[in-house]
Structure 1
Amino acid sequence: MKHEKSQIKAVLGIPLLIVALGSLAFGARADDTPIRLADMAQSLNGIASQVMIDQELDHKYGVDVSYKGYPTLDGLFNAIRGKQVDLGFGGWTGFAQFRAQGYPVVNIFPVGRGATLDVLVPTDSELQSLDDLKGKRVASYAGAAGTATVLLRVMLNDFYGFDPAATGDLQYVGPGIIPALLDSGDVDAGLLFDPLATKAMASGKYRSIGNLGDLYKEKTGDDFLWISLATNDDFARANPEALAGFLKGWVDAVEYVKSHPAVFEAYGKKLGLDQAGIDQLAERVIRDYATTWNDDYINGLKAFAERASRVMDKGFLDELPEEAFSTRYAP
């Protein structure tokens, strides 16, 4: 357990930073419920997860969290639906699709609303808005069925009148090579997420022509959900109090991050960001956090699912089971 908890420090490159800010020292108890938490390696979700562990906010609410980062999205999703972990971060549409396919996973809380999802172009590009992407080559980091890709296609189809996937203009590549593809002219625009989007913009070589989370809110009035927390039915049935405790600790950790921007310093420096870039990263991540989870919010997600099922290939979110969501454990 101690070894697993130490892994996150090495992954995020923020050794002892948050510990140095002071520990609340709630202390572990022998009867605290272990929770195995999974995420993508080097994800920004790890910042609040690190706070929860180092500030012992998990033990404040009777749980003992260990964190593991997976190098690929497939590995992460396989671990979540295969019950190799108890909780995991990921795109809510993916979890809902798994539920429709018979996997007993359930979205139990929002994490990020898409405020760090930007469509980037070179600074000297003639493209100024998403409307200019028609007939242009666009790269997405998120894969064909990733939540960010789904959002991009829905936005372009429903509000700008074209779908780059339908015309063969959308391609899927690893996030790390999108800046190089923009430099070479192999693509005209690329969808990226933080910290890579902030790093790209902070370099001065790239600019955003559209923040997807903000634009979706502007067009529909609904908050989008990009990343959620999901668990499996077996763990939820056996440990409802532990899940409720974890979410209380998570909300506390998010509030800690919001009030202690120093947690971004070492992380940003590891990315090579100057102070302006670090401040930009902190502002975007803090704005991305979502902590409201109720039926009204979920109804907005159902409205998005209807849009997505019309745009995506047959079989994608054609059915959205009620069991794909639960508010039972929300603080």
Structure 2
Amino acid sequence: MNVQGLMKKSLLGAPLLVVTLCALALSARAADTEIRIGDMAQSLNGIASHVMIDQEFDHKYGVDLKYQGYPTLDGLFNAIRGKQVDVGFGGWTGFAQFRAQGFPVFNIFPVGRGTSLDVLVPADSDIQTLEDLKGKRVASYAGAAGTATVLLRVVLNDFYEFDPAKDGNLQYVGPGIIPTLLDSGDIEAGLLFDPLATKAIASGKYRSIGNLGDIYKEKTGDDFLWISLATNDEFAEAHPEALAGFLKGWVEAVDYVKSHPKVFQAYGEKLGLDQAGIDMLAERVTRDYATTWNDKYIDGLKAFAERANRVMDKGYLDELPDDAFSTRFVP
């Protein structure tokens, strides 16, 4: 066969090769294990989750990630307990409580250390430190048993010797109205989380008198855990390799977010943040990510559970089952 014939044959074979490769790729994707992941709607966790999907880190590790946002925390927790999702974001203390109550869910990996949990006051307030909150009206966005509320009460009780809940000065309100209540004077301080905390601080109308995650670390030496990832027993037993692959993809997505702060640009603009506010949000969120999960870290959580059990009402973390945590799927 002459050179022209060889070239013609090669060119004719090229489309077939492309089709074959595409078919193989589609076949591989079809074999990937679907994981339904549940989160709060508009949560910052969604940034890394969508990076994982957009950059195809899920398929890289044999997983097909399906993201579902829920408008309320109760709706999300019901979905996690009811196995409507396979993996879910939430406060680790909530998942531990569920485990103790007989629901087959458990923590498998950390997400955020709580370094975006700030106690805010109006910029012109006389309140300067957490110690000044004694006797003041304080609001928490997280509800009476929310992990962030528990952290606030533990920090104030153990390190500043007062508990606003027992003094009758702690109330629970939706996060969106905390700035309004601060403006009206109905409350004197409010616990908020990102992106709302960053938006409030960036406005110049409010300032932080204490970051709870940082304070807990300073006082105890332990990293706090605010948000974790949890799964259920049934899915874990049926798809252990998929969960391990999912966590590899998650860690890679977090690394991508840390090295590509531009992923915060569109998100921050939707919040109405200027560039300084967007940069602040990116710095705070990337600092909050946690990707170390081992027995030492979990021992620190158990120490916090003991503190919380002393501070909270009877029935809160009276029991902390060992199987409320697992390092089985750690990358």
TM-score relative to the length of structure 2: 0.92
Please tell me the residue identity of whatever aligns with 1:154.
V
Matched, 1:146 2:141: no
Please tell me the residue identity of whatever aligns with 2:122.
P
Matched, 1:311 2:311: yes
2:11 paired residue number: none
- Gaps in structure 2 of 5+ consecutive residues: 1-24
Please tell me the residue identity of whatever aligns with 1:265.
Q
Please tell me the residue identity of whatever aligns with 1:93.
T
* Secondary structure of 1:194's aligned partner: coil
| CA distance in structure 2 between the partners assigned to 1:260 and 1:116 by the alignment | 19
Specify whether residues 135 and 260 from structure 1 end up closer, same or farther in structure 2 by C-alpha distance, changes over 3 A only: same
Please tell me the residue identity of whatever aligns with 2:35.
I
1:96 paired residue number: 96
1:232 paired residue number: 232
Matched, 1:211 2:211: yes
Specify whether residues 257 and 142 from structure 1 end up closer, same or farther in structure 2 by C-alpha distance, changes over 3 A only: same
Equivalent residues in 2 for 1:260-279 (5 A)? 260-279=260-279
Shift of 1:30: 1.2
Please tell me the residue identity of whatever aligns with 1:67.
Y
| CA distance in structure 1 between the partners assigned to 2:199 and 2:29 by the alignment | 41
* Secondary structure of 2:218's aligned partner: helix
Question: Runs of 4+ in structure 1 displaced over 4 angstroms?
Answer: 25-28
Please tell me the residue identity of whatever aligns with 2:85.
V
| CA distance in structure 1 between the partners assigned to 2:67 and 2:185 by the alignment | 39
| CA distance in structure 2 between the partners assigned to 1:295 and 1:181 by the alignment | 41
| CA distance in structure 1 between the partners assigned to 2:129 and 2:43 by the alignment | 27
Equivalent residues in 2 for 1:66-145 (5 A)? 66-145=66-145
1:162 paired residue number: 162
* Contact 1:26–1:59 (CA under 8 A) maintained in structure 2: no
Identity between Structure 1 and Structure 2 (%)? 84
Q: Note the aligned Cα RMSD (angstroms).
A: 1.1
2:20 paired residue number: none
* Contact 1:26–1:57 (CA under 8 A) maintained in structure 2: no
Shift of 1:26: 10
1:255 paired residue number: 255
1:175 paired residue number: 175
Q: Which has the larger radius of gyration?
A: 2
- Gaps in structure 1 of 5+ consecutive residues: 1-24
1:16 paired residue number: none
2:8 paired residue number: none
Matched, 1:323 2:323: yes
2:40 paired residue number: 40
1:245 paired residue number: 245
Shift of 1:27: 9.4
Please tell me the residue identity of whatever aligns with 2:110.
P
* Secondary structure of 1:30's aligned partner: helix
| CA distance in structure 1 between the partners assigned to 2:230 and 2:133 by the alignment | 34
Matched, 1:199 2:195: no
